[in-house]
Structure 1
């Protein structure tokens, strides 16, 4: 019984590593900064305008946006599109899971903790990895999520990309998948045949930054409290403890 339990434990611990190893996808590095409130505000606006139509954030309330520097009136004017909506409401959508399955083939996942599930690098690469694929029902595919069911909702900003497969020289040369911008969007351009996607990449970075923040909006407050506690221990409790030790042992020697 113990041997069986040990084997099961090994399999369970190794499963995530095996899954990661099976994904032959190179992720672009993205370092989130949830203390950059301007970036978070831009990301929140992008999320509400482009993502919240289908995806919900059912564990996040609109009033938490006050923690990133927005006022109650700014939230009402720029983030609440219904007269009945209240600032304390959860970020839900009207589309039900049943409707999502009927219309899209599968209900769009809730995005509240998607950054904790997938990781910032995955999201950053995914949102920049859409390309035209006429074999797909939506006309789009993705380098990170093959045969993705989601259309490219940001295509007007990024433009159209196609996937080119280049094979290295030699009989056993490996294939390299490269995205090529063929039609610029409002935030990209083609200069001398080379794609300039800096503005779009920055916009995606703001969105990913907000998704990371939304997954744990109290993280900054918790870290601040932690620093305060450490300072208290170092500046107050340690000297008091040392003074108590000196007082207690002064008559011993």
Structure 2
């Protein structure tokens, strides 16, 4: 009984973790898994800014070449920097021991992060880092308070600072609340360009979490059409067999 209860808690814990952050407003993002150019841009951003610390060990490079419309030479030239074979998984050289030493915790594998967190959460998270001198890396995040990760995309986005507003609760206590983030130092991209970069990255993360999604949806439509035709044939056969009785 205890083992069964423990297994149930493991299954529901991700949902509970997401529910605990339900008060945070999440911006909606519209991604397109059929846009191969967007996926290619997202893959380049991922390998350049994320893959040094975060692995994607359930994804293979040659799968990217096939699904993203790239040749293996393109993958070797633009997405691989370690001399691995294209059949290898997207792993990292950083060991768990060193990662814990440097960051205080092991950075999670990102293969399935889009399914765990959701694309809206990722889109909002990557756009809402702000300066906070109290944090070890000098930044905090609106949707992940006291985040332990540095803002790795700061060169692209620049730096934001929070704008506070004082509000009074039902007991008369005053609290400061962040109402918006103000860009105080622009990066190499304009806000619109950075939004597109993040959207492409989230699009790639969503693809990586479920590479077979488009095939599954296409197969589902075919199955439904087959069942519809089968229903018509079955109905006509039923009428033919029972016409003398009715």
TM-score norm. by structure 2 comes to: 0.85
* Structure 1 counterpart of 2:3: none
Residue 77 of structure 1 corresponds to which residue in structure 2? 77
Find the partner of 1:244 among 237, 241, 245: 237
Q: Where in structure 1 are there 5+ consecutive unaligned residues?
A: 1-8, 189-196
Paired residue for 2:226, among 222, 225, 232?
232
After superposition, the C-alpha distances for 1:22-74 in whole angstroms (9 at most, x for unaligned) are 65322111233222222111111111111001100011111221112222222
Indicate conservation of the 8 Å contact 2:56/2:110, yes or no. yes
Q: 1:41 to 1:14 in 2, by over 3 A?
A: closer
In structure 2, what is the equivalent of residue 45 of structure 1?
44
The residue number in structure 1 matching 2:141 is 142
Change in Cα spacing, 1:109 to 1:36, as seen in structure 2 (3 Å) is same
Q: Can you give the 5+ residue segments of structure 2 that lack an aligned partner in the other structure?
A: 1-7
CA pair 67-160 structure 1, distance change in 2 beyond 3 A: same
Greater than 4 Å deviation, 4+ residue runs: 12-19, 168-175
1:182 is matched with which residue? Answer: 184
* Per-residue deviation, 1:148: 1.4
- Post-superposition Cα deviations, 1:112-160, rounded to whole Å, max 9, x if no partner, equal 1111111111111110111122222212211111221111111010011
Query: Residue in 2 aligned with 1:56?
Result: 55
Deviations 1:210-253 (A, max 9, x none): 1111111111111111111112222x423321332233124334
Where in structure 2 are the equivalents of 1:13-52 lying within 5 Å?
16=15, 20-21=19-20, 23-52=22-51
Aligned partner of residue 233 in structure 1, secondary structure: helix
Alignment partner, residue 115 of structure 2: 116
Distance in 2 between the 1:89 and 1:15 partners?
A: 29
Between 160-169 and 197-206, the greater mean CA deviation after superposition:
160-169
C-alpha distance in 2 between matches for 1:21 and 1:139: 24
- Say how many residue pairs are matched: 237
CA RMSD in angstroms comes to: 2.8
Matched, 1:126 2:125: yes
